[in-house]
Each structure stands twice: as C-alpha cells, then as structure tokens.
C-alpha cells in the first residue's frame, strides 16, 4: 500500500514550462517543499535544466522546512521532488514512487498509469490483478489570477466535507509570491490539524478555551477522556507550542498582506 500526498506544479517563465511533482508524507510538508521549488524557479528558471551551474541543495532546503515538532513526533516524515519523470530529490527512496513518476512525467495520475507502473513490482501478475483505490482527504488547488493568488482547500474527514479558500491580493508595494502563499497555506492547514489533534487527544484541553470548534471538515467528535501516557503528554504540550507558533506566522502574514477568506476565516 502506498500512501502519499502528491502535488503537481506547472511553472513557466514565458519561454519554457516545467512540470514538477512534489510528494510528501503530509500535506503541510508537501506544500512547504513545493514553496521551495517555486522560490528556486522564480529565482532561476533554468534550475531544472540539465547540469545547472548552481544546483540547489534540496536536502538543506527541505531540512529548513521541517519543524522541531515534526522531527520529534513524525519520524515517518518524508518528501520527494520529480521533474519530467526523473527523481530530483528524495529523503527516502521508493521504487514504487520512482516507477509511477517515470511514467507520469509530471502529469496527473490515472488508473492506467498506476497499473502500468506497479505491475512489475508484485511478481508474476497482470494489471487486471491490481486494484487501484484513491483515498483523498485533503485537496489544495492553487490558481494565479492577474490581481491575486488563490488557494482552495477541500477536506474530507469523519464522513464530513468542508472547504474554504484564501485569496492574497497584489498591492502597489509588492506582489504576492507563490512560494510565500504556499507556505502560508501550509501553516494554516497544519494549525488546523493540530487543533483537531488537541481536541481529540485524551487529557488535552483546547488552549484557546471554549468548546471544540470546526476545522475545514466541521466539528470533530471528541474522544472519551482518559489518562494519557508520558509520551502523549509531551506530544500534547509540544503540539500546543507548535500551534501557537503557527498562529503567529499566520497572523503576521495576514497583517502584511491583503488576505481574503471565503466563506470565512477558519478558526485556528
């Protein structure tokens, strides 16, 4: 079974268009690596040409995107970058991912591609023996417009579906940049996920006070409270700290930019 977030990117400087794919363990990390990819392309559109004179250190760029909370409590965290079907960077090698992306060459995946890429990985079987199931929980669609950059977030969880969008408008002082908006979206989504974790964790109380509130997928069911073990207590306290940190990042971005939510700002 392969579980992965997958984000496709079409980047153009007018003369060339590059199709890239970013994969990751969670959606926030995937968005942050995508932000690094966008930033490097904006700085040097030839960054993905063969043998660039100054190739990025993707390992260093990725390591700067991983928080201390992730390093401590999400040791399964990983990410990879693929351009034109070639794996440019991967924290953990995967024959399955390499095979899929080599065939896809940056395009959206379909069942035919998945069957063809994985048929040789499971011994002497045919593609008819392979069952493809898609389990999408969170989708983020990023769209540039002349006056603003827009990200729409759709989440399915616990049988509920919720969505919101955020638009960051250009101003006379500065243009909204794709990499900063992608990072902002990653912070918002991670903050929401941490809130939901704290609402469900035994023994945790919402640091904002009050009843459990809605994330993108609406109100969450509360798990019966019990006495958490020492490891969970440490994670709960670290999650509270990380959530406060992310809230400050989000508020700082909102104060520095013209940000508009629809239908409303999610409760972080």
Q: Looking at the structure, tell me whether residues 208 and 188 fall in a common domain.
A: yes
Q: Which of 87, 115, 134 is the last residue of a domain?
A: 134
Number of domains in the chain: 2
Residue-range definition of the domain harbouring residue 91 = 1-134
Q: What is the CA radius of gyration of the chain?
A: 20
Q: Which of 86, 119, 134 is the last residue of a domain?
A: 134
Interval 133-189: pLDDT, tens: 666 678 899 999 999 999 999 987 767 788 999 999 999 888 999 999 999 999 999
Q: Looking at the structure, tell me whether residues 25 and 2 fall in a common domain.
A: yes
Higher pLDDT, 219 or 261: 261
Q: Which residues contact 124 (CB under 8 A, 6 or more apart)?
A: none
Q: Looking at the structure, tell me whether residues 174 and 259 fall in a common domain.
A: yes
Q: Looking at the structure, tell me whether residues 112 and 173 fall in a common domain.
A: no
203: left (phi over 0), alpha (psi -120 to 50) or beta: left
* pLDDT bucket at 68, cuts 50 / 70 / 90: very high
Predicted pLDDT at 162:
86
Interval 8-57: pLDDT, tens: 999 988 888 889 999 999 999 999 999 999 999 999 999 998 888 889 99
Predicted pLDDT at 212:
41
Spatial distance between the Cα atoms of 48 and 40, rounded to a whole number of angstroms: 10
Q: Looking at the structure, tell me whether residues 188 and 267 fall in a common domain.
A: yes
Q: Which of 88, 108, 134 is the last residue of a domain?
A: 134
Q: Looking at the structure, tell me whether residues 84 and 157 fall in a common domain.
A: no
Residue 217, judged by CB atoms within 10 A of its CB (0-12, 13-18, 19+), counts as: buried
Out of 90-104, 112-126, 209-223, 249-263, least confident range: 209-223
Predicted pLDDT at 210:
40
Q: Looking at the structure, tell me whether residues 55 and 147 fall in a common domain.
A: no
Q: Report residue 218: phi and psi, to 5°.
A: 90, -175
Q: Looking at the structure, tell me whether residues 7 and 127 fall in a common domain.
A: yes
Predicted pLDDT at 120:
65
Q: Looking at the structure, tell me whether residues 54 and 78 fall in a common domain.
A: yes
Helices 27-43 and 58-65 cross at an angle (nearest 10°) of 130
Query: For 80-103, what is the mean pLDDT?
Result: 91
Predicted pLDDT at 229:
84
Predicted pLDDT at 167:
98
Predicted pLDDT at 2:
62
Q: Looking at the structure, tell me whether residues 122 and 152 fall in a common domain.
A: no
- Cα 247 from chain centre: 17
Q: Looking at the structure, tell me whether residues 177 and 203 fall in a common domain.
A: yes
- How much of the chain, in percent, has pLDDT values that exceed 70? 82
* pLDDT bucket at 124, cuts 50 / 70 / 90: low
- Nearest residue to 162 via CA among 231, 220, 94: 220
Predicted pLDDT at 247:
97
Interval 181-235: pLDDT, tens: 999 999 999 999 999 999 988 876 654 544 344 444 343 444 445 566 888 999 9
Predicted pLDDT at 233:
92
Q: Looking at the structure, tell me whether residues 105 and 149 fall in a common domain.
A: no
Answer whether residue 70 shows pLDDT above 60.
yes
């Amino acid at each position: 079974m392969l579980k992965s977030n997958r984000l496709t990117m079409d980047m153009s400087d007018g003369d060339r268009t590059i199709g890239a794919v970013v994969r990751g363990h969670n959606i926030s990390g995937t968005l942050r690596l995508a932000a690094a990819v966008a930033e490097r392309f904006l700085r040097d559109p030839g960054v993905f040409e063969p043998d660039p004179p100054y190739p990025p250190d993707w390992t260093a760029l990725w390591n700067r995107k991983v928080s201390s909370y992730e390093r401590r409590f999400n040791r399964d965290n990983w990410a990879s970058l693929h351009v034109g079907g070639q794996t440019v960077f991967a924290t953990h090698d995967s024959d399955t991912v390499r095979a899929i992306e080599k065939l896809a060459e940056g395009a959206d995946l379909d069942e035919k591609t998945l069957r063809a890429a994985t048929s040789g990985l499971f011994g002497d079987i045919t593609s008819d023996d392979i069952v493809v199931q898609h389990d999408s929980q969170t989708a983020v669609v990023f769209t540039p417009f002349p006056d603003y950059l827009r990200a729409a977030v759709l989440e399915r969880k616990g049988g509920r579906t919720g969505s919101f969008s955020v638009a960051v408008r250009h101003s006379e002082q500065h243009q909204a940049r794709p990499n900063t908006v992608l990072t902002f979206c990653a912070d918002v989504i991670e903050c929401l996920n941490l809130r939901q974790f704290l609402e469900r964790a035994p023994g945790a109380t919402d640091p904002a006070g009050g009843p459990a509130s809605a994330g993108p997928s609406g109100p969450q069911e509360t798990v019966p409270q019990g006495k958490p073990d020492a490891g969970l207590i440490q994670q709960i306290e670290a999650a509270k700290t990380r959530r406060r940190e992310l809230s400050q990042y989000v508020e700082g971005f909102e104060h520095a930019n013209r940000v508009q939510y629809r239908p409303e700002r999610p409760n972080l």
